[in-house]
Amino acid sequence: MKNSKVKKWAENVVKQEEIDKYLIDGEDFIKDELIWEKIEKNKNPDKEYVREIIQKSLNIERLDPDETAALLNVEDKDLWGEIKEAALKVKRKVYDNRVVLFAPLYISNLCVNNCLYCGFRKDNNEEVRRRLSMDEVKKEAESMIKMGHKRGLVVYGEHPKSDANYIKETIESIYDVKVDTGRKKGTIRRVNINAAPMKIEDLKKLWEVGVGTYQVFQETYHHDTYNKLHPSGPKSNYKWRLYALHRALEAGIDDVAIGALFGLYDWRFEVMGLLYHAIDLEKQFGGIGPHTISFPRLMDAQNAPYVQKTKYKVSDEDFKKLVAVLRLSIPYTGLIVTARERPEMRDEAMMLGCTQTDASTRIGIGAYSEAYKEQEKNRQQFVIDDTRDVDSVIRRFAKMGMISSFCTAGYRCGRTGKKIMDMLTTCQEGKFCKLNAILTFREWLDDFASEETRKIGENLIKKEIKEVENDPYFKENDLLKPFKKYYERIKNGERDIYI
């Protein structure tokens, strides 16, 4: 494709009318000064006030900005201990003790943007540029399925060669792949995507082919920093990106995911930005907030000058704080911690309320099927810190008493959008999570586990089933009997049955 054509395409991406319709009094919902005012105003919060906030969160109510700002300002060590303890309790109430596993799939690194922290940026001439063909996409999906994955997060650069039509085709291709995994054909059952903001008409195309969650990270919510770090391309338009998920919801995609790249600006500001984002989605879409929130930390990337320069790098201690505060502030949302983090940090993040993570992660274009083991900076957006395979990650979680889940049930029986939001806030979705986690874990143990992991997994499953039997909720809601039937059917070799 000629450069002039690409340039013209990029110039026509943003549709001003699809920003303006969501503005209130002509302004977006991130007020930089107000955020700083709230952070300042809530300094040295009273202990009892903080405990009241914690209790509100334990009642699974979303916090207000002042309350979140107060949590961000806690300095007392013991009080932080209480916050962290509460974070895990909130997670268990809403999602039980399961961790959903997925695999990221990078299929195009062509990009018209120039983000100063990203290896895919247009001006990085050392990056090996590539867009996978549909056959290559299918090969990648096959490799993921052979590892035991059921859920993919597909990542695309912003470019006319990876536009909505290409994305649509890749989603269909991935769903079409069926691999013999022993007992039955294995498939990717849910395709989530991380792609650039689009117009509503394009988003409808993705909705029609059954896209899972649509994820767009704002990167930084701070206007000036955003403008500085995104000097050109459609991504230089802050508001176009800020309202990407409003447009998605309007197009019908009722599972949307937000995120910020921590390290670009002050971490406390970004937490407040994420909260305001959730509030505005709830306000404008009848209570539907973000399905998940991601909080990746800035990692080393090829020819990305800002990574070395930034003064906002988030320390491990602050990272744990931000995870706990997000958990308490937006109790209903899923929290995703990724392989960017070291294994020990992932373990800790799990104990602070994270609900999803990746495993066997390869983020180079074509990296699953071409099976290259070393990370290659010139094929990746950034470098990851945890390259463990699925089996090791699952075994580790099982040792920690957490069950790995490959559940994709909600999305295939109408528990999405407002329905799932209501079930999350009333702590009912977690009950389904528990049952489906056991069912999919049983599948995975039988089809993919090493002997060592299987042994540990069997003990965990026994404990989980006992908990189900002893919880009156399952009997009262007629869930126990069907669950037991399904479990037996899976043990006998059936696959992909869920509640």
Partner 1 sequence: MEKEISIFKKIKDRIDKNKNLHDNLEIIASFLSGKYGIKIYFCEILGGRRWSYIAGSKDVMAPTKKIKINSILGLVIDNYEQLDKEEWNNIIKIIKELQ
The answer to whether 159 and 365 are in contact (CB under 8 A) is no
* Token digits of residue 108: 């195009």
425 binds partner 1 (CB under 8 A): no
Contacts of 278 (CB under 8 A, 6+ apart): 62, 258, 289, 290, 293, 330, 333
- Select the residue interacting with partner 1 from 18, 127, 158, 254 (CB under 8 A): 254
- Select the residue interacting with partner 1 from 200, 252, 303, 383 (CB under 8 A): 252
Q: How far is the CB of 10 from partner 1 (least distance, A)?
A: 28
The answer to whether 444 and 359 are in contact (CB under 8 A) is no
Measure the CA–CA gap between 239 and 4, rounded to whole angstroms: 25
479 binds partner 1 (CB under 8 A): yes
- Is residue 65 helix, strand or coil? helix
Measure the CA–CA gap between 274 and 33, rounded to whole angstroms: 16
Q: How far is the CB of 64 from partner 1 (least distance, A)?
A: 26
Q: What is the DSSP string of 327-362?
A: HHHSTTSEEE--TTS-HHHHHHHHTTT--EEE-S--
428 binds partner 1 (CB under 8 A): yes
Query: How many angstroms from the chain centroid is the CA of residue 151?
Result: 12
Measure the CA–CA gap between 350 and 438, rounded to whole angstroms: 18
The answer to whether 246 and 284 are in contact (CB under 8 A) is yes
212 binds partner 1 (CB under 8 A): yes
Contact letters for partner 1, residues 353-392 (x by CB under 8 A): ----------------------------------------
Of the candidate spans 31-39, 141-149, 363-371, 413-421, the one that interacts with partner 1 by CB under 8 A turns out to be: 413-421
Q: How far is the CB of 257 from partner 1 (least distance, A)?
A: 15
Of the candidate spans 36-44, 78-86, 208-216, 349-357, the one that interacts with partner 1 by CB under 8 A turns out to be: 208-216
The answer to whether 98 and 356 are in contact (CB under 8 A) is no
- Select the residue interacting with partner 1 from 182, 210, 287, 493 (CB under 8 A): 210
Q: Would you say 296 or 417 has its CB closer to partner 1?
A: 417
Q: How far is the CB of 478 from partner 1 (least distance, A)?
A: 6
Contact letters for partner 1, residues 166-185 (x by CB under 8 A): -----xx--x----------
CA atoms within 13 A on the CB side of 311: 1
326 binds partner 1 (CB under 8 A): no
472 binds partner 1 (CB under 8 A): no
The answer to whether 195 and 214 are in contact (CB under 8 A) is yes
Q: First-to-last CA distance in the chain?
A: 47
452 binds partner 1 (CB under 8 A): no
Q: How far is the CB of 71 from partner 1 (least distance, A)?
A: 31
Measure the CA–CA gap between 416 and 334, rounded to whole angstroms: 13
Query: How many angstroms from the chain centroid is the CA of residue 326?
Result: 13
The answer to whether 221 and 30 are in contact (CB under 8 A) is yes
Q: How far is the CB of 468 from partner 1 (least distance, A)?
A: 12
Closest CA to 117 of 305, 266, 379, 380: 305
Of the candidate spans 2-10, 37-45, 207-215, 274-282, the one that interacts with partner 1 by CB under 8 A turns out to be: 207-215
Of the candidate spans 116-124, 282-290, 365-373, 407-415, the one that interacts with partner 1 by CB under 8 A turns out to be: 407-415
Widest CA span in the chain: 66
Neighbouring-strand partners of residue 185: 180
Q: How far is the CB of 238 from partner 1 (least distance, A)?
A: 30
Contact letters for partner 1, residues 276-315 (x by CB under 8 A): ----------------------------------------
- Select the residue interacting with partner 1 from 411, 441, 448, 487 (CB under 8 A): 411
Q: Would you say 482 or 493 has its CB closer to partner 1?
A: 482
Bridge-based pairing state of the strands 179-180 and 185-186: antiparallel
Q: How far is the CB of 245 from partner 1 (least distance, A)?
A: 16
For partner 1 (CB under 8 A), the number of binding residues is: 31
**Contacts with partner 1, residue ranges (CB under 8 A):** 171-172, 175, 189, 207-212, 252, 254, 411-419, 422-423, 428, 431, 477-479, 482-483, 499
